[in-house]
Amino acid sequence: MVGPERPQFVLFGSSIIQFSYSNEGWGALLAHIYARKADIVLRGYSGWNSRRAVQILDQVFPKVSSFCHQQGDLNQSSLSLKNLRADAAKQPSLVIVYFGGNDSIEPHATGLGPHVPLSEYIENVRKIAIHLKSLSEKTRVIFLTTPPVSDEQIRAHLSDRIDMVRTNESCRIYSEACLEVCREMNLKAIDLWTATQQIDNWETVCLTDGVHFSPEGSKIAVKEILRVIKEANWEPSLHWKAMPTEFSEDSPYDPGVKSKSSMNNAVAVGICKLITTVENVVRIGKACLIGGTILFFMGS
């Protein structure tokens, strides 16, 4: 075990999640932004669909209450109410979910493949949401919709698997279905299908192979995630600026900084406010030397 304990943000989904730490991915960017504030935990499974996700929910996101019911009456269980409360405290503060791209691939003639019918996909999204919300009162959930794909790049990269068809139109249909379920359940959702296509030449700028994000595509995902977190009426707030910093700058473990911390923090706040006013720009990892201390600033 490593301490101190921090809030956990879990990224749960298929390859868009699994690859989010590579190629300047959005998961790595989030880990950088939330350094000393929250742990970004990766649970990505390339090639998976929502059907497979539902099958393993209890393994990836276990609940003590489920274990107790399996073992018998909760009152007779060796687990006390204190244990249950401790378990709830260890549940993730935020889960970001992405499934749908593989589901949207057209059905294969053999009946095999990752395709999931739209009606089943909708029910699977509901099941995932219900399970995650039941983990604890503090657990928040954000769904990412299916991003757009480049039909031309897919044909070029998957010419030997042309029978596994994924189109931008099918992604739109599954994206809208995810958004509709989230509206019905009062859940946060990010429309990556629309946001990505706002960029000029998005097919080549935002995607590497017609499906997965380039560094520029990842910046769009991060910008949208931070926007939703910032605008959410969550208590406590999970936006990086609102979360406490582990061993903050005025900590006694940082000799020589305490006397200058008030000035440095005031300047840092002012600069961060200035940075966040710049429209349509995501600045990650910009550094500024103030009073001999290197400070890092990220866009909101």
Return the closest-CA partner of residue 142 out of 181, 104, 94, 103: 94
Backbone angle region of 256, left / alpha / beta, with phi > 0 → left and psi within -120 to 50 → alpha? left
Q: Which residues contact 160 (CB under 8 A, 6 or more apart)?
A: none
CB neighbours (10 Å) of residue 19? 20
Please give the Cα distance from 158 to 231 (Å, whole number). Answer: 39
Mind telling me the catalytic residues? 14, 209, 212
Please give the Cα distance from 161 to 149 (Å, whole number). Answer: 16
Please give the Cα distance from 95 to 229 (Å, whole number). Answer: 12
Q: What are phi and psi of 107, to 5 degrees?
A: -60, 140
- Quickly list DSSP for 33-69: HTTTT-EEEEEE-TT--HHHHHHTHHHHS--HHHHHH
Please give the Cα distance from 104 to 126 (Å, whole number). Answer: 17
